[in-house]
Each structure stands twice: as C-alpha cells, then as structure tokens.
Chain A
Amino acid sequence: MSVELLNFIETVLNGLMSGVMYSLVALGFVLIFKASGVFNFAQGVFALFAALTLVGYQTGQVPFAHLINELFGTNYHNWYASMPNFLAILLTMVTMIALAWIIERLVLKHLVNQDPIILFMATIGLAFALEGVGDLMWGSDVKVLDVGIPSGGSIWLEEATIGLAAEGSDYYGMYVDVLNIWATVIAVILVVSLALFSQYTKTGRALRAVADDHQAALSVGISLRSIWILVWAISGFIAMVAGIMWGTESGVQFSLSLIALKALPVLILGGFTSIPGAIIGGLMIGVGEKLAEIYIGGYFETGALENWFAYVMALVFLLFRPQGLFGDKIIERV
C-alpha cells in the first residue's frame, strides 16, 4: 500500500475515534429530547460538572472550599488524601441522580407545556447556573483526571501497520490513541446496554412509551415525573462517562462544556430523535473534521478548520434533509 493511502486510513481511523467522543455527548441529548422534548443545552456542562465532581471526590476536596475560606478566613482544603476510583465514580453517579431530581423539581416541573424554545432557553440558563455552581464547589483551575484508563499511542497498532507500506518508504506506522480505543469500547457497551434496557425492562418500555406520546403514557398510568427524573439521571450518567473520557484526554476545565456545542451538529446530522443517529452523526462529524483539516485545511495557511467545519457541514446537511439522517419526519399542521 502507498503511504498516502495509509495516511488516509489513519486519518479516517482517528476521525472515527474522535467521532465516538462527540457521540457520547450527543447520546445524552437524544435521550432527554426523546423522553421529555427538551433540547438540553446543558448536556456539556453536565459532563464538566460530573468530571469536576469526580475529581473532587477522588482527591477529597471540601466542596465550596474557596468560598468558605474567603468568607470565614479558614483554611479548609481536603478531607482525605484519596478515594478509590470505583467509590468516587459511584458517588458521582449518586450526585448526578440528585442533580436530575433537583432539576426536575425546580425547573422542569414549572415549565411543563411551555414552548420547546422556552425550555431550550431555560436549559441555557441551567448551563450557566451549573457551571457557576461547579466552579464555586470545586474551583476553576484545570484539574488532572485519572481513573486508570491508559492513554498515549497504541504501540501494537503502530508495529502492526509499519510493515504495510511499500518497501523502502518512510513510514512509521499509524498513530491511534489508546484512550480513544477505550472510549469506543465503552461507547459500544453503553449503547448496547441502553438498547437492552429500553427493550427488555419494564422501566425501559415505560421510557419508550413516554417518548412516543406523553398523554397516552400518562393515561396508562406511567408517572411522567419519575420517568423524567430517570431520563435526566441516565443522561447525567452518560455525561459522566463523556466527562471522564474528555477529562482524561485534555484535563478537566471549562472548555469541556464547549464540547457540547460540537455535539449539536452531530445531532443535526443524525436527527434529534435517533440513538443510532447520534452515533453515526458523531462518526461522520469526526471523520469529516479530520479529513477537512488535512485535505482542505492545507489551502488556508492558518488552518484550525475544526472550529467551524462541523457546523457548516451540519448547515449544508440541514438544507437537504432538515430532520437529519434518522430523525422522524417533521410533519406540521395548522
């Protein structure tokens, strides 16, 4: 094989991997949108908040330490030196469930039957509030997150591919981050278990019923509120997984919440209501972005197409297929 072809394959592979990361965030969006019709802008901040909380538990930070210290002149920082990963993740999960409950209680309950766009703007407010609370609780410095997922280049793949190039050419094998491979594995497990859960459990069926028709679900005795709490908790869990992945890759910091914005074009490509759509949309955006960066980005000396390429791709896509690849057809009646 020629070096160009191998480089192309490497780019696509890396694109697919980073696409999985986008899909992880998009998945949370889709779940909430299907079940409650809320377009949750705060999903990215959920991921940030979960990652912050996880680091906080791991390192035993005192919540609101900065605030307490500044108000009362005390000097609290840590409760304990460290906590096992498993326990910290479990506690974070509990926190996310509590958060889902609080959001349902304080925000969603009061906005039932409002325009979707009002709910959307409310989640923008939620994103801000949650970001502020997260910073107040755990501080805004960049944190290192390590839950034992290996990262760095995959040596195995590098050695396996080095021989593929033609004899005598300068080729050093493909570079793929192990972390991304792990993310892919985890995403697959997540999607499969979600599918099994919604297909074969009673709660899962209730969840799909609510997604189909609120009124009908209510009339057969499904509690909308508990389903909503459940859905927000599940997407909180997905946000946590995404937060762990992104946090391990680039540190836990504010820019994590901007990744959520990247998930929006993914949703448009895949359709707001389709879980497979979120995955495939994410992969498409990931590959498209990487290919554009390398093959089109060369024509602009400045590069950094990644900032907007996904949005423009989604925009062009919208013109031809407004409901996305797998989304439900939008039918409007007066």
Chain B
Amino acid sequence: MIYKETGQYKSSYKSDHAIFPLLQDKIAFSTLMFIAFLIIPFVINSYWEKAILVPFLIFSLAAIGLNILTGYCGQVSLGTGGFMAVGAFSTYKIMTYFPDMNIMIIILISGLITAAVGIIFGLPSLRIKGFYLAVATLASQFFLVWLFNKVPWFYNYSDTGQITVSERTMFGVPVTGAEAPSYATYLFCLVLVVVLSFAAKNLIRSKMGRSWMAIRDMDIAAEIIGVPPLKTKLSAFAISSFYIGVAGALYFAVFLGAIEVTESFDIMTISFPVLFMIIIGGLGSMLGSFLGAAFVVTLPIGLKFLMVDMVGLSAVTAKHFEITIWGLLMIVFLIVEPHGLARLWSIAKEKLRRWPFPY
C-alpha cells in the first residue's frame, strides 16, 4: 500500500508522457535532487568527493553512454576506454589552444569530437554485428590509446607523455586543477549529469530511441518495417560516444587532473568496468546505469574495508579477491538476473505496491 497508484489519473497528454508519472516517484526524485543539490554540497569533504561521489557521477555518464549503444541499440562495444581518451585529449588540446574558453563549453565540444570519432568507428557496425563487432571495437580501443600515447602532438610534446589540466573557473570558483574545492567539482559534474541524463531519457523515449530498440530486437525485421539501419546505428554510436566523451573529459579535467593514457584508459581500468556497470545495473535501463555505476564504484571500497581493514589481508591479495568477485558477480547476474539491479528495483516496487497483502 506504500506504492499505490490508485486514484492517480492521467487526464492530459502531458501527464501521460511524464517521466515520473506517479506521485511517489515525483516525491522520491525531488527529495533526491534536494539532497544532491542543497545538502551534499555543504557537507561534502575531499574523501567523499574523490573516492565516491565524483567518480560515481562520471562513470554514470559513461554507463549511460555505453547503455545507449549496448543496452538500447544492441551493439556490444569494448572500446569505451578509447572513446573516453578521445574526450580527455580533446579537452586538453582545446584548453591549450583556447585559454579563455569556458570549461563547460570545452567539455561539450570534446563530447562532439568524440561523437565524430564514434561515427567513424561505428561504420563497421553496418556490416558486422555481435562479437565480430565487439572485436572491431577492440580495434578502436587499441588504436586510439596507441595514437594518444605515440603521437607527441596530442600531449604537447611533454617529456613524460602526461597531460595535466590547467585551472578553469565557473562563476569565479575553480572547478578544475588542484585548487578546486570539493563542492565545486561535485556540483559541476552533478549539473552535467542531471542535464545529460534527462536528455538521454527523452531521446530514448523519442522516435530515435524506439528505432534503436527495434534494431536491437531484430535488425532485419526493423529494416523491413522502415527503420533505416545506417542512420539508426550511426546515431547510436554518435550519441553514445558523446556521453562517453563527456565522461572522459570530466574524468581527466575534473577528477584526475593529470593522466597518462596507457594507464588511465586501459581496457582493464575503463572498458570492462563500464561494461560491468551496465550488466550489473541493467542492460537497457537508465536507472540501471546509475545503480551499476554506484555498485562498481562503491564495491571495491567496501571490499577493501572488509578484507584489508577487518580481516587483515594484504592489499595485493585483496585485489585478487576483488577481481574474482567481479567475475563471479558478472556470471551470477547474467544467470540469475539478466536485467540487473534495475529489475530488482522494479520487483521491489511491485512488492511495495501490494504490501502488506500477499496478492
């Protein structure tokens, strides 16, 4: 009886199309936004910012991006790390050439550049699919990382091959660089994530999103009923890459500050974890992207606390345990709940709806 929808009638198209049609959802969402915008910025400290909140927000964006491509359009990609690197390096290059440009605009342009790169690497998807495509996206991963590592122009000929962010401000407060206060970096990411997730949610409910899903469910049938595969697949690649590129730009500019491409955008540190996020969170679900990102960001911290601080294992052994647990979790989720955490949440909602009655 907690989550009851009786008595909530939809009397206009507008209310029928609302993202959160139920009052309970609206209340829950508003509370969440209230906490996120008006409470957390005042209580946030450096640990929460660096270890949990900012990586969570950034990886949510990356997960949304990959979910658009894999969850909604059905094209498996292992090249997330490469595309995030494109976002990061575009940000860096734009920063060097246009010292006065606003950081928000820089990051959005980096997203657009990544989208263009995504279209190029999405071209093979027109002819191949399934794991053939997964292999093709591996090509983008290795090629892009090699490119940024080996062509000195990308890192401005610095000796170490590292790229370092310079300080940029929004409304007079620095959001990038070492001096940026915790609340500023957090709010900067939060605003981008909220705006872009709303955009993604609406895109998915639009004609474009429906054609992605048609292609995912059966591409030949979709083509026959008039969904153009070229446009649909490439738009999925472009928009997915845009999100991943923005995530990569934030990852570099706001979160890490200085990166070395082979380490920070490796297939093991980015591509697979983001794939975990959408599998564990839920393929083809916005909520799932967030839940998955939260899970993947917090689980290592929890495991480390449990194994290193409580049981007293060495950090190396704990790391091996962590890898094992990731693998097992992935298998367990695929077997037991292929729709991920998002599905668990909708089961919980169903339970809450009829509680305390069994039926």
B143 touches A311 (CB 8 A): yes
Contact B334 A118 (CB under 8 A): yes
Q: Please measure, in the bound complex, the distance between the C-alpha atom of A147 and the C-alpha atom of B351, giving whole angstroms.
A: 60
**Measured CA separation A71–B314 after assembly (Å):** 10
A312 to B330, CA, bound (A): 29
Q: Is B1 an interface residue (CB 8 A)?
A: no
Quick check: is A13 within 8 A (CB to CB) of the other chain?
no
Chain B: minimal CB distance from A55 (Å): 17
Q: Contact between B135 and A311 (Cβ–Cβ < 8 Å)?
A: yes
Contact with B along A122-150 (1 / 0, CB 8 A): 10111111111101100010000000000
Known A125-B330, A128-B330, A315-B136; judge A332-B220 contact (CB<8 A). Answer: yes
Chain B residues with CB under 8 A of A136: 317, 320-321, 324
State how many angstroms separate the Cβ of A70 from the closest Cβ of chain B: 5
Q: Is B316 an interface residue (CB 8 A)?
A: yes
Tell me if B199 is interfacial: C-beta within 8 Å of chain A: no
Say whether A66 faces chain B, with CB atoms less than 8 Å apart. yes
Is the interface on chain A under 10, 10 to 19, 20 to 34, or 35 or more residues? 35 or more
| Number of A-B contacts defined by CB within 8 Å | 143
Q: Which residues of A sit under 8 angstroms from B224, Cβ to Cβ?
A: 334
Main secondary structure of the interface of B (DSSP, over half): helix
Asked if B347 is at the interface (CB within 8 A of a chain A CB), the reply is: no
A314 at the interface (CB under 8 A from B): yes
**Chain B interface residue bracket vs A:** 35 or more
Q: Does B300 contact A (CB under 8 A)?
A: no
Q: Which 10 A-B pairs have the closest CB atoms?
A: A129-B327, A132-B324, A125-B330, A128-B327, A311-B139, A132-B323, A302-B150, A308-B142, A135-B320, A125-B331
Interface residues of A (CB under 8 A from B): 39, 66-67, 70-71, 106-107, 110-111, 114, 116-118, 120-122, 124-133, 135-136, 140, 261, 264-265, 267-268, 300, 302-305, 307-308, 311-312, 314-315, 318-319, 322, 332-334
Q: List 14 A-B contacts (CB under 8 A).
A: A106-B331, A124-B330, A125-B334, A128-B330, A132-B322, A132-B326, A140-B320, A261-B138, A268-B132, A304-B146, A307-B145, A318-B124, A318-B127, A334-B218
Q: Which residues of B are interface residues toward A (Cβ below 8 A)? A: 74, 76, 124, 127-128, 130-132, 134-136, 138-139, 142-143, 145-146, 150-151, 218, 220-221, 224, 267, 272, 275, 279, 311-314, 316-317, 320-331, 334-335, 338
Given A71-B313, A132-B321, 8 further pairs, Cβ under 8 A: A117-B74, A121-B275, A124-B330, A130-B327, A132-B326, A264-B138, A268-B132, A312-B143
